Amino acid sequence: MADATTAITGGIRLEQVQGVRERQRRERRFLLHGVLLRFRHPSMVRLSGGGGAGALPRRVAAAYRAGMIITPPDPNAAEGHVAEMYADDIDDDGFVFVHTQAMAVNPEAHAAFENLIRAIVPSIGLRVYEAATLGAARALGSTHCLLAHGRKSLRAGIVDEAGLTAFAQGDDSGFAPAERVVIDYAARLSTDPASMTDDDARSLRDAGYSDRQIVDITLAASARNYFSRALLALAVPVDEVPGLDPAIAAALTRPASDGALPTADR
């Protein structure tokens, strides 16, 4: 009789499965050392408009022309969590976002941030987490996070394209009523936390959120402030986000008040 391991793997021996996984890890490592990651620092990279050896993908080259004062970890020497950060971006989008490179300078802090998010999401769910994240990002003018989490919200079915475009223009009607309360709360936390009172938290209570959820909504919005403000303070260039409609991307990067495209340090 086949054992449980054989049954799960469809008759393939466990050693074969492990061999495939090891080969996949080697392939990811090889890609990590390849042309898509030949970007260390503007002074160390040849930015070519055409193809060929030494050329970088257009979006990466554009980001490095913008410059960044810090030097990200060299992908050729990336190990541990840094290698995982780079490989995850490559798996998802085929290149490493500049904001990932910036946060890779302190991989322990990035890992701690990820653990914090994992501790927050279970009680509130992805929809509420994204509402808090987008509300904070819009209030902060965080282009990086608006683009990244706008795409995540679309892919998760939290909001449709029309609703996300409206959100970019200050209209939150594409979200459920309880989620709109979260967006408002996150915006207030992100702009004037010193003046907040129990009335602000009570708005979440009235929307049906429990004590644990109120705390975790607050933590979600605060965590987005930490991440977004770090990227803004470091003037990290903003990459294009693949799969996001250009019109929606333009709306998300344009403050509703003036119609001007923000820069990375705005």
The model's confidence at residue 81, banded by pLDDT at 50, 70 and 90, is very high
In the chain, the amino acid numbered 22 is E
For 172-215, the pLDDT digits (tens) are 999 999 999 999 999 999 999 999 999 999 999 999 999 999 99
Residue with tokens 């919005």: 221
Q: CB under 8 Å, gap of 24 or more: what pairs does 21-29 form?
A: 28/87, 28/90, 28/91, 29/83, 29/87
pLDDT of residue 101: 94
SS3 label, residue 76:
helix
For 217-233, the pLDDT digits (tens) are 999 999 999 999 999 99
For 94-119, the pLDDT digits (tens) are 999 999 999 999 999 999 999 999 99
pLDDT of residue 75: 84
Whether 135 contacts 143, CB under 8 Å: no
The model's confidence at residue 247, banded by pLDDT at 50, 70 and 90, is very high
pLDDT of residue 49: 34
Range of lowest pLDDT (42-51, 95-104, 251-260): 42-51
pLDDT of residue 60: 41
Range of lowest pLDDT (20-24, 61-65, 77-81, 203-207): 61-65
Whether 174 contacts 131, CB under 8 Å: no
- Percent of the chain at pLDDT exceeding 90: 67
Whether 150 contacts 199, CB under 8 Å: no
pLDDT of residue 6: 35
The whole-chain average pLDDT of the chain stands at 80
Residue with tokens 């929606």: 248
Q: Which of 61, 43, 49, 125 is nearest to 98 (CA)?
A: 61
Burial class (CB in 10 A: 0-12, 13-18, 19+), 241: buried
pLDDT of residue 255: 55
Range of lowest pLDDT (49-58, 143-152, 197-206, 226-235): 49-58
Residue 65 dihedral angles phi and psi, to the nearest 5°? -65, -30
Sorted by where each starts, the structural domains of the chain and their CATH numbers stand as 33-92 (no CATH), 108-252 (1.20.1290.10)
- Residues 70-92: what's their mean pLDDT? 92
The model's confidence at residue 77, banded by pLDDT at 50, 70 and 90, is confident
State how far the Cα of 105 lies from the Cα of 263, in Å rounded to an integer: 22
pLDDT of residue 11: 40
H-type helices in the chain, by residue range?
Answer: 4-8, 14-32, 58-66, 80-93, 98-103, 107-140, 143-155, 161-168, 177-191, 198-206, 211-233, 246-252
- Percent of the chain at pLDDT exceeding 70: 70
